[in-house]
């Protein structure tokens, strides 16, 4: 059954498409990438931008956010994008009264060329809904893959966080970085987490006293 195929396989297929698409003749790198992948401008809802996010698909260590602060921290011209077919799927789901996960690209134009931070929007109110979505794809393996994370996310939600996105990967120079985004944003961009999932507690900003 198609519904039983893993999320990882779906992402591998999408990445293959990104790598194989021909360049648009005469277009800038950013325009070429958009044309190759059917990307159009999109304004994420406020609950996504104001929400927190995780940055590792399996066994995330931290929560970051809010997302709007991450965008500002990149210090680049940014544009939110969505695949045209993904937008059609999202609009159809809305007409049917559903709120599915969907992918967004955050294009950041740098001196070295455009970067694409690829997020998955998480429209869930609790960790059980998040886990159920993964179990729909992974079946019985979901407990081994995501069981511990489910409990950790629930603790974060109980402490008032609204985790509404997952940073899945980064594309630079047309290549997908293999390093986990969690490591990239902390090491290269000095993005500070706001919650330690392993410890189950908030991380106070440096210099703040109790």
Q: Which residue has the higher pLDDT, 86 or 16?
A: 86
Q: What is the pLDDT of residue 206?
A: 60
Q: What is the pLDDT of residue 8?
A: 47
Taking the CA atoms of residue 53, residue 55, residue 56 and residue 57 in that order, the dihedral angle to the nearest 10 degrees is 50
> The whole model's pTM is what?
0.85
Query: What are the structural domain ranges in the chain?
Result: 2-197
Q: CB within 8 A of 190, min separation 6: which ones?
A: none
Q: What is the pLDDT of residue 142?
A: 80
d(CA 6, CA 136): 9
Q: What is the pLDDT of residue 16?
A: 47
Q: pLDDT band at residue 1, thresholds of 50, 70 and 90? A: very low
β-bridge partners, 62: 196
Q: What is the pLDDT of residue 9?
A: 42
Structural contact between residues 28 and 13, judged by C-beta atoms closer than 8 angstroms: no
- C-alpha distance across the termini of the chain, in Å: 53
Q: What are the pLDDT digits (tens) for 4-41?
A: 444 444 444 455 455 444 444 567 999 999 999 999 99
Q: CB within 8 A of 98, min separation 6: which ones?
A: none
Tell me the mean pLDDT in the region 176-188: 96
Q: What are the pLDDT digits (tens) for 91-145?
A: 999 999 999 999 999 999 999 999 999 999 999 999 999 999 988 878 888 888 8
Q: What are the pLDDT digits (tens) for 52-69?
A: 999 999 999 999 999 999
Name the average pLDDT for the chain: 88
């Amino acid at each position: 059954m198609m519904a039983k195929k893993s999320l990882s396989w779906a992402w591998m297929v999408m990445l293959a498409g990104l790598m194989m698409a021909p360049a648009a003749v005469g277009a800038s790198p950013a325009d070429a990438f958009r044309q190759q992948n059917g990307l159009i401008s999109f304004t994420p809802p406020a609950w996504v931008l104001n929400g927190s996010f995780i940055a590792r698909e399996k066994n995330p260590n931290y929560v970051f956010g809010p997302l709007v602060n991450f965008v500002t921290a990149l210090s680049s011209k940014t544009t939110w994008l969505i695949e045209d077919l993904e937008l059609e799927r999202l609009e159809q789901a809305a007409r049917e009264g559903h709120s599915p996960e969907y992918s967004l690209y955050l294009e950041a134009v740098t001196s070295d060329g455009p970067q694409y931070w690829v997020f998955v929007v998480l429209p869930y109110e609790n960790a059980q809904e998040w886990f159920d979505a993964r179990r729909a794809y992974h079946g019985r393996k979901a407990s081994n893959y995501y069981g511990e994370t489910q409990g950790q996310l629930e603790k974060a939600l109980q402490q008032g966080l609204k985790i509404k996105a997952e940073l899945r990967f980064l594309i630079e120079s047309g290549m997908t970085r293999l390093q986990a985004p969690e490591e990239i944003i902390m090491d290269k961009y000095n993005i500070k987490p706001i919650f330690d999932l392993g410890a189950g507690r908030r991380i106070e900003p440096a210099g703040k006293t109790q």
